[in-house]
Amino acid sequence: MADFYKVLGVPRTASEKEVRAAYRKLARKHHPDVNPGDKAAEARFKEINQAYEVLSDPEKRRKYDKYGDRWEYADQIEEMQRQQAGQRFSFGNGGGYQTFEFDDLGDLGSVFGQFFGRGGTRTQTRRRGADVQQPVEITLEEAFHGTARTLHLSGVDECPTCGGTGEIAGATCHACRGRGEVRRERRLEVKIPAGVATGSKVRVAGEGEPGFDGRRGDLLLVVEVRKHPRFERKGDDLHEEIDVPLTTAVLGGEVEVPTLTNKVMLKVPALTQNGRVFKLTGLGMPRLNREGRGDLHVRVRVRLPEKLEGRQRELFEQLRASGV
């Protein structure tokens, strides 16, 4: 198995932010949609995703740093290690318990192998597979309308032909070549609902890591919504600023206000002060898994003239003289 740190090109001391940045850069470069028909890029993309799935999860990363390619069995290894020399270790096999004795931790390898298909028959425990998290970046417009992403999924499943033993009637299973596992690769379109925000998780059932009883965990798409050049999002509400001419602010009138779907006209009353905020009800973000939408808050930014012509200056001088 490849070194996950080398796959992402980061040192073992890399922070979560550095790991995430490296993943995004490599994922964009090697994504199959960017390299259609390029099998090498597709394989590299899968390798990058596998590395990120582990290094982006603090607990999985801890186990990987300690046990390398056997990190998935860290819980079992650590349980065994808690049993000191000469202790008895029992492991349930569904119909009872098998008990082993070992004199030192060097015997752990043979015991470990019997349960996980190395040197003996693999015995399954009743444990569902772990969930896997994967980041997905979307625009504010996509968060507003809802969107979809096509995922390229790969993983390892227990071989259905031999039940994970690697053998059939004492002979090597040809379907998995004695490994007890088969690769699983496919494309999956996932719908991201309207109203999601940064930190929202979209659950894809059964696409996580395999469990010892055959049940897979889930895939969790962790949403990150990009910043928008005009709108600031706060919960389900949107905030923006609009320029209002000085004359309209003083005398009143209407100004055009952009929204995420169209443009609306805002009635500005006379003597509107700079910085005043108007609330446009129901023009914000859809409420995730609920009816209705948030509001749009529009802050007025009074626009002063950049230059004054002769008559205009006279009028402003008259206003100043009148004490306005």
Edge-to-edge, what's the strand order for the sheet holding 201-204? 132-138, 219-225, 201-204
Question: For residue 82, what pLDDT is reported?
Answer: 61
What residue ranges define each of the domains in the chain, with the CATH number in brackets?
4-115 (1.10.287.110), 132-225 (2.60.260.20), 232-321 (2.60.260.20)
Question: For residue 136, what pLDDT is reported?
Answer: 92
Overall pTM surpassing 0.95 (yes/no)? no
Question: For residue 214, what pLDDT is reported?
Answer: 61
State which H helix or E strand residue 88 sits in.
strand 88-92
Sign of torsion, CA 202 291 142 189? positive
Least confident of 155-159, 186-190, 245-249: 155-159
Question: For residue 119, what pLDDT is reported?
Answer: 43
164-199 pLDDT, tens per residue?
777 877 788 887 888 777 777 778 899 999 999 999
Residue 156 and residue 183 in contact, taking contact as beta carbons nearer than 8 Å = yes
298 φ, ψ to 5°?
-110, 120
- Between residues 192 and 317, the one the model is more confident about: 192
Residue 198 Cα distances to 3, 138, 195, 234, 260, angstroms: 30, 9, 10, 11, 18
Model confidence at 114, pLDDT cuts 50, 70, 90, reads very low
Question: For residue 221, what pLDDT is reported?
Answer: 92
Sign of torsion, CA 281 282 288 289? positive
Three-state SS for 35?
Answer: coil
Q: How many CB atoms within 10 Å of residue 12?
A: 10
Q: Is the pLDDT of residue 95 over 80?
A: no
Three-state SS for 153?
Answer: strand
Q: Which of 49, 289, 315 is nearest to 192 (CA)?
A: 289
